[in-house]
Amino acid sequence: MKNIGFIGLGIMGKPMAGHLIKAGHRLFLHSRSGVPKELIEQGGQSTASPQEVAERADVIFTMVPDTPDVEKVLFGEQGIVQGLQSRKDSTCIVVDMSSIAPLATIKFAERIKALGHEYVDAPVSGGDVGAKNATLTIMVGANQTVFETVKPLFELMGKTITHVGENGAGQICKVANQILVSITIEAVAEALLFAAKAGANPHKVREALMGGFAASKALEVHGARMLNRQFDPGFRVELHHKDLNIALATASALGVSLPNTATVRELFAACLAHDGAKWDNSAIIKMLEKLSNYEIPTCTK
């Protein structure tokens, strides 16, 4: 049994923390929206602040929305660092599983390690379904020894765990993932919209495409959501928009051009303008439909 902290218990963090509790670990929990009752009933312990989590846990997981949120949890008032500073006799491992800026991640890691503790960036892919089923893909930036220490905990939450490199490498990998996923989802939306407008049954088109080289997880999952008009998240538009902002800002700093990423980012921005922040990212098809003045009709599968 390990003493584990988990900060951020939303759509993703709640089931992830639940897997750790079910495995027999003692969890100290904190969330700005309150610790879910289910986790307390399972044996988790609520704490008043990230500082308290750091005072009591040997491994601390964070799963919050954006770079400023991670910075606040780590270095803000009653943050993790204040708890770490009171620990003179033991080393703590801070594991950030949020999706945030790679360059900021490297700086956060440097500050934590300067205090004598360890830092891991381990963003995930797989959405709420992967979190609930413990099948997440986890991309890890850490030194090899620290990675081996926390890997058994990752295996309770994910299926594919890859040590990508040193601190920052996990977030770089996640940015690459979000670029690829967003462009693929947008391509699925274009293909299904085209097929429907041209007069074919889009359900049958999707079925046919799933058997060929165009098959993808995005076509399977997001294509079904588009055709069934099921836009409850999933992965929220506002978060994918945030991730593409990170991608484009990082690319700009590196002098890299990402034209298609920029286009998809603007389609997500259009979703936000239509009160779609909480929509699933498959709702990008709504903006393409508006541009085409055509909405895919409900039809028999």
Q: Active-site residue numbers? A: 174
Any long-range contacts for 21-27 (C-beta under 8 Å, 24+ apart)? 23/156, 25/1, 25/153, 26/1, 26/2
| Helix, coil or strand: residue 48 | coil
CA 54 vs CA 60, 91, 257, 270: distances in Å:
7, 11, 40, 40
Largest CA distance in the chain: 70
CB-CB contact of 197 with 166 (8 Å): no
Amino acid at residue number 71:
E
| Helix, coil or strand: residue 233 | coil
User: What does the DSSP assignment read for 143-192?
Assistant: -HHHHHHHHHHHTTTEEEEEEEESTTHHHHHHHHHHHHHHHHHHHHHHHH
